[in-house]
């Protein structure tokens, strides 16, 4: 059984620790707030000889992911971290990493995108990378950020998956807050993730292969993309199995979605990331007052848990979906669109209302959660119709 040590540590610090424990061979990274302290602490491990990882300093995130791709194709276990504009600058490489089926692990400190310039938390960066073919996990807490990093390694390298995985934590809120976190001993983590056995490694000179070759008109490009879809579909079962195994090891639950109060809830709030805690805290109070409210947290964003959400939300009198990112010109944010889609095949229609909240680190006050539950109660009671998209807590004149 593993030895557990309880720390007072930031999310970034325990992500760096988890990465060290997963024993990557190569890290290539470029600093960007609020991710910087991950690669800074990891560089410290390299300098102190606490890891034999090759640390590659580069001049941009574009180069960071390019170096990761090269190293991963060569046969290394590769990790990196980024945020916001850095993730945006990686965009073309994100597709190349997933297209070349390279199991790179990347932490993303969720941060707003310019303009206007803002360094604080929202999910604009990660939602922009939604369709790049990466398995994507979200953390509510520093603890989950630690756990997700370790699980990500196993998921990425699973022979049925072989895809890059992004492990996302909320900028500043989770990256920089000191929280109570339990970490495992090195040996237990190393035993859980196992040795990486690369397939089709460029450095395996006995069996020469080509990576990322031309597959133009009449070539296998189309079929290749089909295989990528199959791989990320396979990830559903792998995420579930790895999650169950990790739960047994760590003693902490894991699910693609995590529900609170949903056994007898009449209305529910669906949310991603650190705000889930705010929603639960308010829901506890409302429960004490007799309101049957529930909270659904989405922990795996890609592949999206449609079936799990449909099962959890079936029969709800009203559902609120909170998005910390925009999808300009769409009916609502990215999570809203997915939840609506997940509920489409249900026989009974579930009223769904979308909220955009917390952009650019706008403080997620508890009264905002109270307002959402109050709206849901009104819809459930039939005293109000579901409103169009709500910008939750936005000032009329800013």
Partner 1 sequence: MQQLTEIRWHARAGQGAVTAAKVVAETALAADQYLQAMPEYGPERMGAPIKAFTRISSDPIEIHCNIENPDIVIVLDDSLLDIVDVAEGLTDDGVIIINTCTPPEQVRTAISIPVTARIACVDATGIALDTIKRDIPNTPMVGALIKVAGVIDMDTFKGLLAKNLGKKFGQEMIDANWASVDRAYEEVTVA
Q: Which region among 174-182, 188-196, 207-215, 229-237 touches partner 1 (by CB under 8 A)?
A: 174-182
Complex with partner 1: residue 172 or 192, whichever CB lies closer? 172
Residue 180 contacts partner 1 per CB under 8 A: yes
| Structure tokens belonging to residue 194 | 């196992």
For residue 103 the two structure tokens come to 């199991």
Binders of partner 1 in range 335-364 (CB under 8 A):
363-364
DSSP 270-329: EE-TTHHHHHHHHHHHHHHTT--EEEEEE-EEES--HHHHHHHHTT-SEEEEEESS--TT
- Assigned token pair, 78: 């590769």
CA distances from 113 to 119, 123, 252, 327 (A): 8, 9, 33, 13
Q: Taking contact as CB under 8 A, which single stretch among the options 102-110, 125-133, 165-173, 325-333 is the one that binds partner 1?
A: 165-173
Distance of CA 148 to the CA centre of its chain: 8
Q: Which two tokens stand for residue 69?
A: 């791709």
Contact string 6-45 vs partner 1 (x = CB under 8 A): xxx-------------------------x-----------
393 is an interface residue for partner 1 by CB under 8 A: no
Using CA atoms, how far residue 138 sits from 22, 34, 62, 299, 392, in Å, is: 19, 16, 23, 5, 22
Name which of 65 and 364 has its Cβ closer to partner 1: 364
In angstroms, give the least distance from the CB of 288 to partner 1.
12
Query: Under DSSP, is residue 136 helix (H, G, I), strand (E, B) or coil?
Result: strand
Sole binder of partner 1 in the list 61, 125, 170, 326 (CB under 8 A): 170
How many whole angstroms separate alpha carbon 205 and alpha carbon 269?
53
- Between residues 174 and 259, which has the closer beta carbon with respect to partner 1? 174
Q: How far is the CB of 80 from partner 1 (least distance, A)?
A: 23
Q: Kindly state the smallest distance separating residue 174's Cβ from partner 1, in Å.
A: 8
Q: What is the rounded CA–CA span in Å between residue 46 and residue 281?
A: 40
Q: Does 178 bind partner 1 (CB under 8 A)?
A: yes
* Residue 119 within binding range of partner 1, rule CB under 8 A: yes
Q: Does position 397 bind partner 1 by CB under 8 A?
A: no
Number of residues located near partner 1, criterion CB under 8 A: 25
Specify the pairing of strand 105-110 against strand 135-138: unpaired
Closest CA to 352 of 327, 380, 311: 380
Distance between CA atoms of residues 357 and 345, nearest Å: 28
**Footprint of partner 1 on 281-320 (CB under 8 A):** 281
Q: Which is nearer to partner 1, 178 or 330 (CB)?
A: 178
Of 2-10, 38-46, 195-203, 301-309: span binding partner 1 (CB under 8 A): 2-10
102 interacts with partner 1 by CB under 8 A: no
Residue 176 as a binder of partner 1 (CB under 8 A): the answer is yes
| Pairwise CA distance, residues 107 & 100, whole Å | 19
Q: How far is CA 161 from CA 52, 218, 340, in A?
A: 27, 26, 27
Q: How many CB atoms lie within 10 A of CB 187?
A: 11
**From the list 174, 188, 250, 259, which residue makes contact with partner 1 (rule: CB under 8 A)?**
174
Q: Is 365 in the site for partner 1 (CB under 8 A)?
A: yes
Q: Does 179 bind partner 1 (CB under 8 A)?
A: yes
How big is the chain by its Cα radius of gyration, in Å? 21
Among 123, 278, 293, 321, binds partner 1 (CB under 8 A): 278
Contact residues toward partner 1 (CB under 8 A) are 6-8, 34, 119-120, 170, 172-174, 176-180, 274-275, 277-278, 280-281, 363-366
């Amino acid at each position: 059984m593993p030895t557990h040590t309880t720390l007072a540590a930031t999310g970034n610090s325990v992500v760096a620790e988890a990465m060290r424990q997963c024993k990557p061979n190569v890290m290539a990274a470029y600093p960007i707030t609020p991710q910087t302290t991950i690669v800074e602490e990891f560089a410290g491990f390299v300098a102190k000889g606490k890891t034999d990882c090759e640390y590659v300093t580069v001049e941009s995130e574009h180069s960071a992911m390019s170096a990761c791709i090269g190293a991963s194709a060569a046969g290394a276990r590769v990790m990196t971290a980024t945020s916001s504009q850095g993730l945006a600058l990686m965009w073309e490489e994100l597709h190349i990493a997933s297209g070349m089926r390279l199991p790179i692990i990347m932490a993303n400190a969720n941060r707003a995108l310019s303009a206007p310039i803002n360094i604080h938390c929202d999910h604009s960066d990660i939602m922009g990378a939604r369709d790049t073919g990466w398995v994507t996990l979200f953390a509510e807490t520093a603890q989950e950020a630690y756990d997700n990093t370790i699980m990500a390694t196993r998921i990425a390298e699973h022979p049925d998956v072989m895809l890059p995985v992004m492990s996302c934590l909320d900028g500043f809120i989770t990256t920089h807050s000191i929280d109570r976190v339990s970490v495992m001993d090195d040996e237990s983590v190393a035993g859980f993730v196992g040795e990486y056995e690369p397939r089709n490694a460029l450095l395996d000179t006995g069996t020469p292969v080509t990576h990322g070759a031309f597959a133009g008109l009449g070539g296998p490009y189309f079929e290749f993309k089909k295989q990528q879809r199959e791989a990320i579909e396979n990830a559903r079962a792998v995420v579930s199995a790895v999650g169950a195994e990790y739960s047994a090891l760590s003693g902490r639950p894991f699910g693609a979605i995590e529900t609170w109060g949903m056994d007898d809830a009449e209305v529910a709030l669906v949310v991603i990331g650190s705000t889930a805690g705010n929603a639960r805290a308010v829901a506890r109070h409302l429960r004490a007052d007799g309101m049957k409210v529930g909270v659904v947290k989405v922990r795996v964003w890609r592949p999206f848990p449609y079936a799990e959400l449909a099962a959890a939300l079936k029969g709800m009198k009203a559902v609120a979906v909170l998005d910390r990112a925009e999808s300009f010109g769409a009916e609502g944010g990215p999570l809203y669109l997915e939840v609506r889609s997940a509920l489409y095949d249900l026989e009974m229609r579930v009223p769904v209302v979308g909220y955009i909240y917390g952009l650019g680190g706008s403080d997620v006050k508890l009264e905002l959660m109270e307002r959402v539950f109050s709206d849901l109660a009104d819809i459930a009671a039939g005293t109000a119709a579901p409103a169009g998209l709500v910008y939750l807590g936005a000032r009329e004149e800013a």
